[in-house]
Structure 1
Amino acid sequence: MNGKNKNRHYYIPKRSGIGFGDVFAITVVAAAVGIIMGLLFAPQSGLKTRNILNKKIVELQDRCRFALLEARVMGEEILEKSIEKAEKVSSKVKNKK
């Protein structure tokens, strides 16, 4: 290290105290408060609101089931292609010996 660089000071920014976990927790709490406030100030009756919520929950369950089924099919296709590629590579290696 030469004499010129000896007295240089470099600025290193400090990280803020908020991490991913904190942001996630704040988001979840804010969403819950928003849902509760929306239900409290909803113009519908309690029965009507519960019926709407039940329909939305059923729709969400159906979407999740479909997404899970779709992911399973895609995973099986990827697995089959991977096995085929592995067999091709294996046969090429065996043929070179």
Structure 2
Amino acid sequence: MNEKNKNRHYYIPKRSGIGFGDVFAITLIAAAAGIIMGLLFAPQSGLKTRNILNKKIEELQDRCRFALLEARVMGEEILEKSIEKAEKVSSKVKNKK
């Protein structure tokens, strides 16, 4: 490295604080708010609107339960693969000693 570049400081920008999870959560909240507002301003009786809301909420709960179950299964698979790889690496290290 030459003298000119030796004392140079480089600026590395930081990532913004918003990630995929934040965007996903905001999208879900906005979608839920839109559905609720649409149902509240729809020309239907209060009882019918509440019944529709309850059905939509139950559907959303079912979807969330399924997504959580799917995430758990995927997490367990990743954990099992990680353990297998760690055991392989560990055995290779032990064999080299």
Whether the TM-score (by the shorter chain) exceeds 0.5 is yes
Following the alignment from structure 1 to structure 2, what is the Cα–Cα distance between the partners of residues 39 and 8?
60
SS in 1 for 2:36: helix
Following the alignment from structure 1 to structure 2, what is the Cα–Cα distance between the partners of residues 57 and 84?
41
Alpha carbon RMSD of aligned pairs, Å? 6.0
Gaps of 5+ in 1: none
Query: Runs ≥4 in structure 1, deviation > 3 angstroms?
Result: 1-40
Within 5 A, what are the aligned runs for 1:1-97?
37-97=37-97
Gaps of 5+ in 2: none
- The TM-score, its normalising length taken from structure 1, stands at 0.63
Which one has more relative contact order, counting CA pairs under 8 Å at least 6 apart?
2
- The TM-score, its normalising length taken from structure 2, stands at 0.63
| Cα deviation 1:33-91 (Å, max 9, x = unaligned) | 75665344311111110000000000000001000110000000000000000000000
Structure with greater Cα Rg: 1
| Alignment: residue pair count | 97
Following the alignment from structure 2 to structure 1, what is the Cα–Cα distance between the partners of residues 16 and 85?
47
Structure 1 residue 12, shift from structure 2 partner: 15
Q: Which moved more, 1:64-73 or 1:5-14?
A: 5-14
